Amino acid sequence: ALSADGWLHSGDIGLWTADGYLKIIDRKKNIFKLAQGEYVAAEKIEGVYGASAFIAQIFVYGDSLKSCVVAIMVPDEEYLAAWAKGQEGLEGKTFAELVAAPEVKAAIQADMKSIETAAGLHGFEKVRGFHLHDELFSAENGLLTPTFKLKRPIARTTFKAAIDELYSGKLGDVAGQSVSQTAGAAAATA
């Protein structure tokens, strides 16, 4: 639909390039607000981290009561197997065993740090915690649409326990106090 001043409202988020072109970078419905008021484009962050050879798929999530984002990632099985061949104690392990190995998480985290620095992500856009999952997102397991787009609400429900674990403790606390959705809901009803 066109607005009175001639702009097309498509639901997309755009960025003007240095050459004066409009580049579509996200969908409006895939943007969320963090506790400190910053708006985050999940697909932008997923695109940055998705450039890692370690990562096959990524789901970035932000809670409006937390000040940071977390991620669920599926490592690239072939790359991880090749990388593990040169790592003592990891050779010959299954994909599920590699995904659970602390050495793998440390290597992925180091790679993520270099990628986020190179991409110039803002502090609130940097993934502060992540969970490694050993099954690809697919239409068969209900996490992707037939056109291979992530079903975010279903992914949130599927990975609720992992996301809650990532946010447990002090990760993403606001002003030094742990804020949980259940505690906030209980306070609101009291």
**Main-chain phi, psi angles of 34, to 5 degrees:** -90, 170
pLDDT-derived band at 114 (thresholds 50, 70, 90) equals very high
pLDDT in tens, 154-185: 999 999 999 999 998 655 544 444 444 333 33
Q: What pLDDT, on the 0 to 100 scale, is given for residue 172?
A: 52
pLDDT-derived band at 16 (thresholds 50, 70, 90) equals confident
Handedness of CA 119, 120, 125, 126 (dihedral sign): positive
pLDDT-derived band at 129 (thresholds 50, 70, 90) equals very high
d(CA 165, CA 123): 21
What is the three-class DSSP state of 40? Answer: strand
Alpha-carbon separation of residue 126 from 27, 47, 112 (angstroms):
19, 12, 9
With 90 as the cut, is the pLDDT of residue 4 above it? no
Count Cβ atoms below 10 Å from residue 172 Cβ, excluding itself.
Answer: 22
Higher model confidence: residue 130 or residue 26? 130
d(CA 45, CA 121): 8
Q: What pLDDT, on the 0 to 100 scale, is given for residue 121?
A: 92
What is the number of helices (H) and of strands (E) in the chain? Answer: 7, 7
List residues bridging with 70 in a β-sheet.
Answer: 61, 129
Range with lowest mean pLDDT among 11-15, 129-133, 174-178: 174-178
Q: What pLDDT, on the 0 to 100 scale, is given for residue 25?
A: 66
Q: What pLDDT, on the 0 to 100 scale, is given for residue 2?
A: 76
Measured torsion, CA atoms of residues 8, 12, 17, 20, in degrees rounded to the nearest 10: -10
Q: What pLDDT, on the 0 to 100 scale, is given for residue 188?
A: 38
Q: What pLDDT, on the 0 to 100 scale, is given for residue 58?
A: 97
List residues bridging with 129 in a β-sheet.
Answer: 70
pLDDT in tens, 18-67: 999 888 765 666 778 888 888 888 888 999 999 999 999 999 999 888 88
pLDDT in tens, 61-90: 998 888 899 999 999 999 999 999 989 889
Tokens representing residue 165 in the block: 């674990």
